Amino acid sequence: MKCADLHVHTSESDGTLTPKQLVKAALSCGLSTIAIVDHDAVGGIPEAYTAAQDTDLEVIAGVELTAQYEKQEVHILGYFLDCQNEALLEKLSLMQLNRIERVHKIVNNLEEQGVKLNVQDVFNISGKGTVGRMHIAKALVKGGWVATTAEAFRKYIGDKSPAYVLGFNLSPAEAIKLIKDSGGVAVLAHPYILHNDELISDFAACGLDGLEVYYPEHSQSMINFYLDLAKKLDLLVTGGSDFHGSVKPDIKLGMIKIPIELVDKLRQARK
């Protein structure tokens, strides 16, 4: 049976595999479709397309946009994007600058916690990819401040931790519009993170197309709840592993597989 993993990251953001390596890994584990949804970046798509040529793997051009609603992050996935859309690329460029500023603020907060981290160490780890908290976590591990990236998030940079900084200049409504104006389909990522399911209907009213129901952190009861909610709000159903490579060793590529029929419904929604 053909199946898909619609939530994978590459080294263009905070994944550890290059787009080419990711394509090879997807073929090895029998996936027929993957969606590359790097954080606020689409630079890895052309390499993945090239790597997947003359294979049976379909690569969907995607993105995971980081929005802010009140005092929390909201991640909106975009599928079947036009990655050459000028408005999209312009906004992503601004978001990259915003992320750099955020790293500096988090490193300053870490210093107030007694953790003296050289900000350049973070940028050396992120390279040309989208810089984010995972790169800070890896720098903390490398510097000996924590033993694991999970400890870094728990102790210092997680959503409720002392060095955390929000500061994303994009609302969920703006993220949804940006995706749809780029020819894409907008889906709310890992909805359990919201801890407020009532917000989903608000996002649906802003044009949200779908809900990421199948996700590693979703229990069966959560899956059942979100399936019912998707039906009630007339939202498409998607799913994926949120694969990042070796930086999240417990999350395996393809550990969440969805039937290709759900991908076809996404494709039809775009048309």
- Does residue 48 lie in a domain region? yes
pTM of the model: 0.93
Domain total in the chain: 1
Residue 176, CA atoms < 13 Å, CB-side half-sphere: 20
- Does residue 107 lie in a domain region? no
Torsion angle (degrees, nearest 10) of CA 228, 226, 66, 174? 10
Compute the distance between CA of residue 51 and CA of residue 42 in angstroms, rounded to an integer. Answer: 16
The range of the structural domain enclosing residue 248 comes to 3-84+183-270
Compute the distance between CA of residue 157 and CA of residue 133 in angstroms, rounded to an integer. Answer: 7
Strand order in the sheet with 72-79: 236-239, 210-214, 185-188, 72-79, 58-69, 33-36, 3-8, 258-259
pLDDT for 160: 85
Residues 183-239: tens digit of each pLDDT: 999 999 999 999 899 999 999 999 999 999 999 999 999 999 999 999 999 999 999
Compute the distance between CA of residue 212 and CA of residue 220 in angstroms, rounded to an integer. Answer: 14
Q: What is the CATH number of the domain that holds 25?
A: 3.20.20.140
Neighbouring-strand partners of residue 63: 78
- Does residue 261 lie in a domain region? yes
Which amino acid type is present at position 217?
A: E
- Residues with Cβ < 8 Å from 209, sequence gap 6 or more? 180, 185, 186, 187, 235, 236, 266, 269
147, with CB counted inside 10 A (0-12, 13-18, 19+), is: exposed
Torsion angle (degrees, nearest 10) of CA 137, 143, 145, 151? 30
Checking if the pLDDT of 260 tops 80, the result is: yes
pLDDT confidence tier of residue 172, bands split at 50, 70 and 90: very high
Residues 67-120: tens digit of each pLDDT: 999 888 999 999 999 999 999 999 999 999 999 999 999 999 999 999 999 999
- Does residue 112 lie in a domain region? no
- Does residue 108 lie in a domain region? no
Backbone dihedral angles phi then psi of residue 96, each to the nearest 5 degrees: -65, -45
pLDDT for 268: 95
- Does residue 74 lie in a domain region? yes
- Does residue 241 lie in a domain region? yes
pLDDT confidence tier of residue 247, bands split at 50, 70 and 90: confident
- Residues with Cβ < 8 Å from 70, sequence gap 6 or more? none
- Does residue 137 lie in a domain region? no
